[in-house]
Amino acid sequence: MKSWWRFLTLGGVILIILACGGSLRYVERDPDLRDFHPRTIGVLTVDAGSYEEARGIVEELVSAALTNKGWFTAVLPAATLKARLQGDQGLQQSVNDYLAKLKTVNYSDPALSMKIGAAFNMEAFLVVTVDSWTYAVENKEKVARAGLSMRLIDAQTGRTAWRAGHDVVKEYTFLKPALKDLARGVVETMISAMPH
């Protein structure tokens, strides 16, 4: 009887992992930055695109996950960076220009990266994009979907040390799963896979 119970328990765990999308959608790491181990990290304002309601939630989840890991001597949450930017228009423009170049032409400007890192006294920063945050019908099934992309930037050089994407899709019948709960799983999976 015990062996059946173990078999069912193990099978259940495997199904949960598969249902939650245990592996990342994609992951890339710069082989030249394998020895990059920042002590201080910041979270830039999340690019929520058309999912504006996700911005604050994702910023909090990412900052909390980074802090809870205990890998860094300092984690600067997006809220802290935003507060500082409100009083410094020049720095705000530098961050906006950096993010615009990264988004439109996939160019991490080293001069702007270095300026941002120096201004906030951080060795690295995380750029997060919300890829999906929605309830939909797929193949006649109701689903909840939360997906993110992340880039870990070496502030000194502007190089992308690591980038990844991950999403979770959960089917439901009556009760909608909270997108925040799905996003928490996405964030935890991604941060756990991030070099530190």
- CA distances for 138 relative to 64, 126, 176, angstroms: 32, 32, 15
Which token pair is 28?
């890339």
User: Rounded distance, CA 108 to CA 102, Å?
Assistant: 5
What values do phi and psi take at 123, rounded to 5? Answer: -85, -25
What values do phi and psi take at 23, rounded to 5? Answer: -100, 150
What is the reported pLDDT for 23?
87
What is the reported pLDDT for 22?
61
Q: What does the DSSP 8-state code read for residue 47?
A: B
Residue 11 domain-assigned (yes or no): no
Residue 89 domain-assigned (yes or no): yes
Residue 40 domain-assigned (yes or no): yes
Residue 187 domain-assigned (yes or no): yes
CATH number at 173 reads 3.40.50.10610
Domain count, the chain: 1
Look at residue 75 and tell me whether its pLDDT is greater than 60.
yes
Look at residue 9 and tell me whether its pLDDT is greater than 70.
no
Question: Residue 169 belongs to what domain range?
Answer: 24-193
Confidence of residue 13 (pLDDT cuts 50, 70, 90): very low
Residue 90 domain-assigned (yes or no): yes
User: Rounded distance, CA 82 to CA 64, Å?
Assistant: 16
Residue 3 domain-assigned (yes or no): no
Residue 7 domain-assigned (yes or no): no
What digits encode the pLDDT tens for the residues 123-178? 999 999 999 999 999 999 999 999 999 999 999 999 999 999 999 999 999 999 99
Higher pLDDT, 2 or 90: 90
- Can you give the pTM of this predicted structure? 0.86
What digits encode the pLDDT tens for the residues 98-119? 999 999 999 999 999 999 999 9
Residue 10 domain-assigned (yes or no): no
